[in-house]
Structure 1
Amino acid sequence: MTNGLPGRLLQRRENFRRTSFLELFFDLAFIFALTRLSRALLDDTSLNGGFQVLLMLAALWWVWFVTAWSADWFDPGAPLIVVLLLGVMFGGLLMAAAVPTAFDEHAMVFAVAYVAIHVGRGALLIPALRGHPLQLRSLRVALWFAISGVIWVAGAFVAPAREALWAIAVVLEYSHARLRWPFPGLGRSTWADLQVNGDHLSERYQQIFIIALGELILIAGFTYSDSGLDRESTIAFALAFVTAAALARLYLVPAGTRLGASIMAAGPTGSKLALLAGYLHLVMIAGILATSVAMERTIDDPGGEHSAAQLALGVGGPALFLTARILLSAVVDTSLPWARLVGVPAIIVFGLVSARLPQLANSAVVAGVLLLIVLVDAMPGLWRFVRRADASDAPDQRPHG
């Protein structure tokens, strides 16, 4: 398992492994981050506020994603990797704590913690990989993060250009990952250099998605607990639960459970699929975050009139999730499920039609459409089950004797 490296650093690619306890412990930082992001969006639902939350979510997701990708390569029990994961976790907690004021007095905390995570990862791994081909890959990644880090810190210094500079940094980082981190004089990584264990990374995606849904239920539960438990708030809380259950089912069936096998079957180019899945999971989590805030507002004020922001969150959130989920099906199963394709415009149309109704009624409409998509989506499987049951109960028509 050493691959010639000290400290038993690298995993063998053929080894199947489950997510380690340390990786799950690391995910706790993302739970805190999502609660801070939902609170920030709840406090400012303007376009500018939404854009700021999106930038912070993209940064925090990139911390989680790059760390999950790195942990896929290295032995989580190696002392260096333990130190690395704990350091990244602490940096992520600092970023999450700075979220409410990341575009004000604590911009430097957010930016420096982010840069330190990515540059620090390279500072630890590059010396440890001395003499191994992966050292060059880690060097390319670290150099690009150092360049984008200058933009992050500059944005923290220059308040009027903060959103623009941080947006440029995010686009730069996401683009160079897709381009395999090309660097002058060092070339670019091959997809084989970036190959991942599909089963492990797919499991990590499922775990972080469940965490995002958990944030929706957690916030809904807290809000309902403080609402006085009246009838309308109880209905709104039930709708939040139905929505969460529908989103979970739409995620897991079918491509959510086939992603790992598809990555493995693609061979060296499976890393391209794994990266695309990472981008789509960011979009799905953004949709869940928006849905979470919309449900919280509905539970808090079920009879309230709809604002444009509430409508955008309550309708746009599920539609955004479902769109990304359809694209994931397209790349994993090369299929476009018609119920979900029809479901996206249905959510938007019925959500807009019910915009004049109280928040509770509008939430019921959106939840009803999601539930209908789940039922229609499941009909082919139910029909096959019924036909198999009928066939097994049919009398044996073979001649006897």
Structure 2
Amino acid sequence: MSSRPDALLRRRGEPLRASFLELFFDLAFVLALQELSLVLLADVSVAGAARTALLLLPLWWVWVVTAWFTDWFDRANRWVQALLVGAALGMLLMSVALPEATGGRAGLFAGAYVAIHVGRTVVTAVALRGHPLRRRTLRILAWFGTTGILWLVGAGWPAARVPVWVAALVLDYTAPRMGWRTPGLGRARPGELRLRGGHLTERFQQVFIIALGELIITAGVAYSATGLAAAQSVAFLLAFATAVLIGLLYVTPAGRNLGTAFDERDPSRFGTVTAYLHLVLIAGVVATSVATDLVITHPTERGTGAVVALTVAGPALFLAGRVALSAVIFRRLSWPQLLGLPTLLLTALAGTALPLLGSAAATVVVLLVVALLDRRLASTELESRPGR
């Protein structure tokens, strides 16, 4: 390990584009999303949705903290690269454990999660000996060390597993909002948590595209397993349209302004809030992916209340996250997206009287209208700005 702590830190003028190993790490997240979809598909119920959410939260937190890590440290450093490869392996092991993560593979799931966070912070704490930023790493190590105990206790104590893991997640997600406040080390200053808007914006866009890719792959696999009948073909086209509309709604216009907002706001608050909101967006895409499989497989059947709710819940979750993202970037609400939420709710209420194909078609119509109105609103505001 380099004897110079500065060799580990991000270099001035380092390119904002994601590195090869960051994209390699994202490949592990592809498997995670696929396995999560299968977990929910196996149990389309409130309990199944809650279990899927419980498993998505630690997976997403590994991705987020890894994105922050690569923003703080030099991605060309061999130790940083080794830690990225280790994080990818850990994510793969968590993904492999997902089908039985709350059962027989709980030890593998929790152990990999703890190993990623604790191992990474131990290595960086040792490498930063004598550097002022070592205090930031020690704070993070203290928090992940504490929650790591809870994760391992939950893995070894089945009766208390879910509540203990929920407690650990609350602490993990709360820590950055508190500046990783630690007894004896205090709270991190905003400058210690500075994030580069250009880099983080690209990383969020990349992981969102991965989620959309999982949706499209699910639709393709489900469609290829059918007889390619007319109803199934229409369902597949609706799934593709849903993916396109969700992608357009994500990137226009808030997605283009996320980097600027990062650079202008308090990084310890804005960086954490955007991570929370992207969790909602990703959860919406995962739910949409599962609903897509069900609609393509059984397009002409009437769905149960849970299946119809899932068909609408995915896009609704996405829209809810998208409304909130616009609010934190522009400090105002997007009325087309806001109106889309109750409209989707009405679609869900009417959906039990329709075949699944009808519910999917109604959802696509709502997303299309929201996308068109949102785009029109963005164009009107751009034209009304001074100097145009």
TM-score band w.r.t. shorter chain = over 0.9
CA distance in 1, matches of 2:85, 2:211: 21
CA distance in 2, matches of 1:27, 1:382: 33
Q: Is the 8 A contact 2:177 2:268 kept in 1?
A: no
**Alignment-derived partner of residue 304 in structure 2:** 307
- Does residue 50 of structure 2 align to residue 51 of structure 1? yes
CA shift in 2, pair 1:259/1:271, >3 Å: farther
- Does residue 365 of structure 2 align to residue 368 of structure 1? yes
CA distance in 1, matches of 2:232, 2:123: 50
In the TM superposition, what is the alpha-carbon distance from 1:41 to its structure 2 partner? Answer: 0.4
Match for 1:275: what amino acid? T
CA distance in 1, matches of 2:184, 2:363: 53
- Does residue 351 of structure 2 align to residue 337 of structure 1? no
CA shift in 2, pair 1:179/1:354, >3 Å: same
CA distance in 1, matches of 2:274, 2:127: 29
TM-superposition CA deviations, 1:347-391 (whole Å, max 9, x none) = 11122123210101111001110011111122245668999xxxx
**Alignment-derived partner of residue 243 in structure 2:** 244
Q: Is the 8 A contact 1:262 1:270 kept in 2?
A: no
1:2-401 equivalences under 5 Å are 5-6=4-5, 8-12=7-11, 15-266=14-265, 269-380=266-377
Percent identity over the alignment is 46
CA distance in 1, matches of 2:60, 2:382: 39
Q: Is the 8 A contact 1:198 1:274 kept in 2?
A: no
Q: Is the 8 A contact 2:121 2:141 kept in 1?
A: yes
Q: Is the 8 A contact 2:7 2:77 kept in 1?
A: yes
CA distance in 1, matches of 2:82, 2:327: 38
In the TM superposition, what is the alpha-carbon distance from 1:145 to its structure 2 partner? Answer: 0.6
CA distance in 2, matches of 1:381, 1:316: 26
Q: Is the 8 A contact 1:137 1:193 kept in 2?
A: yes
In the TM superposition, what is the alpha-carbon distance from 1:143 to its structure 2 partner? Answer: 1.1
CA distance in 2, matches of 1:319, 1:121: 36
Match for 1:357: what amino acid? L
CA distance in 2, matches of 1:381, 1:103: 44
Match for 1:349: what amino acid? L
TM-superposition CA deviations, 1:137-180 (whole Å, max 9, x none) = 11111111111111111111111221111111111110112111
In the TM superposition, what is the alpha-carbon distance from 1:49 to its structure 2 partner? Answer: 1.8
In the TM superposition, what is the alpha-carbon distance from 1:28 to its structure 2 partner? Answer: 0.2
Q: Is the 8 A contact 1:262 1:332 kept in 2?
A: yes
In the TM superposition, what is the alpha-carbon distance from 1:7 to its structure 2 partner? Answer: 7.6
CA distance in 2, matches of 1:384, 1:110: 47
Structure 1: runs of 5 or more not aligned: 388-401
CA distance in 2, matches of 1:386, 1:47: 45
Q: Is the 8 A contact 2:336 2:374 kept in 1?
A: yes
CA distance in 1, matches of 2:270, 2:383: 35
Q: Report which of the two structures shows the higher radius of gyration computed on alpha carbons.
A: 1
RMSD: 1.8
CA distance in 1, matches of 2:278, 2:299: 30
Q: Is the 8 A contact 1:246 1:374 kept in 2?
A: yes
Deviates more, 1:40-49 or 1:217-226: 40-49
Deviates more, 1:47-56 or 1:358-367: 47-56
> How many correspondences in the alignment?
383
In the TM superposition, what is the alpha-carbon distance from 1:270 to its structure 2 partner? Answer: 3.0
CA distance in 2, matches of 1:93, 1:188: 33
**1:192 aligned counterpart, secondary structure:** helix
CA distance in 2, matches of 1:32, 1:278: 20
Q: Is the 8 A contact 1:7 1:79 kept in 2?
A: no
CA shift in 2, pair 1:100/1:248, >3 Å: same
CA distance in 1, matches of 2:176, 2:44: 31
CA shift in 2, pair 1:310/1:145, >3 Å: same
CA distance in 1, matches of 2:371, 2:293: 23
Match for 2:32: what amino acid? A
CA distance in 2, matches of 1:90, 1:109: 12
Deviates more, 1:350-359 or 1:327-336: 350-359
Match for 2:48: what amino acid? G
Q: Is the 8 A contact 2:309 2:348 kept in 1?
A: no
CA distance in 1, matches of 2:264, 2:11: 18
Deviates more, 1:352-361 or 1:77-86: 352-361
TM-superposition CA deviations, 1:211-250 (whole Å, max 9, x none) = 0111000111100011121111110010101111111011
TM-score by length of 2: 0.95
CA distance in 1, matches of 2:4, 2:251: 38
Q: Is the 8 A contact 2:284 2:317 kept in 1?
A: yes
CA distance in 1, matches of 2:213, 2:315: 16
Q: Is the 8 A contact 2:5 2:131 kept in 1?
A: no
**2:190 aligned counterpart, secondary structure:** coil
